[in-house]
Amino acid sequence: MTSKVGYNIDLEKRLQGSVPKKGHTQAHPTLLSSTSSSDDPRDVLQGEDRAWFSHWKPFLAGLLLSLVVVQQFPRSEQPVICSPNASSVCPAASPIAPSVHADLLKQLEISYATEGFKINSFALLGGAVKIPTEMFDDMKVPGQDPRWDVFNQLHGYIDSHFIQVYRELRKTTINTYGLVYHWQGSNPDLKPLLLTAHQDVVPVEPLTVDTWLYPPFSGTWDGKWIWGRGSCDDKPGLIGSLTAIEKLLEKGFKPQRTIVLAFGIDEERGGIVGGTGIRDYLLSAYGPNAFALLIDEGGTLEAHSDGVIATPAVAEKGHFDLRMSISTPGGHSSVPPEHTSIGILAALIAELEANPFTPHLYRNEPYFTALQCQALVDPEMDDELRDLIGKARYSDKALADLEERLFRNPLSRALAGTTQATDIVHGGVKTNALPENAFAIVNHRIAGHSSVSTVKTHIAAVLLPIVKKFNLSLDAFGESLNGELSQKTSGHLKLSDAWGTALEPAPVTPWLKNPAYDLLAGTILNVVKTSARWNNPDIPVIVAPGTMTGNTDTRYYWNLTQNIFRYGHVSRFDKYNGAHTVNEAILADAFIDLIRFFTIVILNADESKIL
């Protein structure tokens, strides 16, 4: 194949300025850098470089503009918090308990503490876990794939076990299996409360079934843990919220504020049927920005030796799946070229992994605030790190030193920056036939200070040296590489959005001076301080804003409310082995506290007049 090519790798690095050497951390990415005193980068071009730039200028200009827009503050111009203590960025919340409904809550707390209620609740969750609502990526829409039929069983289970909900709430089905419940409040001037969860679970890998301590869809309660796929993600949210409302209905509670429940059906594959359908229905039935706040699965609480830190997620990373497709001439394997398409693909993957995205701390982002809050309450943090976190509020040098220390940890790098992971590779069909096509899919989770366009710019800049090395033509996200030079190429590389599902980082829910955040934080404090699990009303509790590294169905709900919180009130220590893996299990007592959380947040929201 032939193509016109003409480009300069150094030019791309000068333009991009965001591809540091491996292991190097830049203080701030430079958008344009050169030795020329001219403001026009074209003045540094010579010959074929100028031809390449002329063709790519519109594409690069658009991508570089996105960098300028997203990186709002150079490091030296970031807001400086000149405060000797962390209270300005980590405000102390006070526990919030219902007053009008204090007697009702007291009755419910007594009921929740009984062995009968606990055993029945464990059985309710276990029964839902027994129903294998697995979600596969290749499932067709409901009605065209029999694997959806199991959701009918779950709906029958809900209707038969939550009698009051079935009788009193208005149920609407969305795209056959999505569920929306409406509990009408007496005061139409109050915006509704929206509680969301999802009914589906990730599939169980058949080859792992024998490694489970209990069968993956047994729903077994062993006296401490409730076992099975979905016991952590997300049937506790589904059954916990329904249980809280069922008990409120049994006690005759009549809300002033309308309550809406929305349960998706394919969150584990991106919500393409359930999340979108529920979004469209809620926007049509209630309107944009119609809800006071939304609570979905997400952030956790962490117990330390002398305190608890809860991190409701106020933000959610963006998402981009890169597809790198290589096409090269075929032929018999007995006369191979120097590099096959698979070999070239391996080089491209290696180059991406050698040039990861550089993480940064920004003072106006949730992760920085969470660090300040952790420094206040975590007795296990060493004094040097605590001091560095405090100084980073007003010192750029301390901020850079904090980055250097924190980013030795992969989790910290993931929380603060954009990540990439090569998850799918495919190529070749036979051992004696040269592979004509090979592709890889690389998953990116995009930091809140970045964007899809920034990620594309980075990818193109990183891969250009390999494109030149292997003499490839290039289609980078719809832009063909055409210069003035013509020559025979060895193959073609296409960079694209793998599934057409690129997602920008979610809007950040404000956490300072926001009544909705204050209500949630106060509720969390109350639930923890009155919990039999902690048995310590004086236990220090800090609520700090968090960021979801994954995506939930809330990706579709941005227009429903400005107050989106992703919070599950379950600690990682309450999960036997985490979610999406073998031996998924939730600590039974933690599930009771989750029911308490839903109950109290409903009552607190009902009494609030400032939401």
Q: Which residues are tagged catalytic? A: 200, 267
**Beta bridge partner(s), residue 5:** 485
Q: What are the helix (H) ranges across 162-317?
A: 163-168, 235-250, 274-286
Question: Which amino acid does the sequence have at 311?
Answer: T
Question: Which two tokens mark 5?
Answer: 């090519």
Q: How far apart are the first and last CA of the chain?
A: 63
Q: Who contacts 494 (Cβ-Cβ below 8 Å, separation ≥6)?
A: 323, 324, 325, 327, 474, 475
Element (H, E) at 468: helix 452-469
Dist CA 254 CA 335 (whole Å):
79
- Do the beta carbons of residue 395 and residue 323 sit within 8 Å? no
Phi, psi (rounded to 5 degrees) for 405: -75, -45
Question: Which amino acid does the sequence have at 14?
Answer: R
Phi, psi (rounded to 5 degrees) for 437: -140, 140
Dist CA 447 CA 444 (whole Å):
9
Dist CA 442 CA 258 (whole Å):
43
Dist CA 437 CA 454 (whole Å):
28
DSSP 510-523: P-SS-HHHHHHHHH
**Beta bridge partner(s), residue 304:** 307
Dist CA 267 CA 215 (whole Å):
23
Dist CA 168 CA 416 (whole Å):
45
Handedness of CA 481, 483, 485, 486 (dihedral sign): positive
Phi, psi (rounded to 5 degrees) for 435: -70, 115
Give percent helix, percent strand, percent coil of the chain, each to the nearest 5: 40, 20, 40
Residue 433 DSSP code? B
- Do the beta carbons of residue 191 and residue 231 sit within 8 Å? no
For the beta carbon of residue 429, count every other beta carbon within 10 angstroms. 9
Residue 449 DSSP code? T
Element (H, E) at 401: helix 396-406
Residue 472 DSSP code? E
Dist CA 112 CA 42 (whole Å):
71
Dist CA 291 CA 333 (whole Å):
62
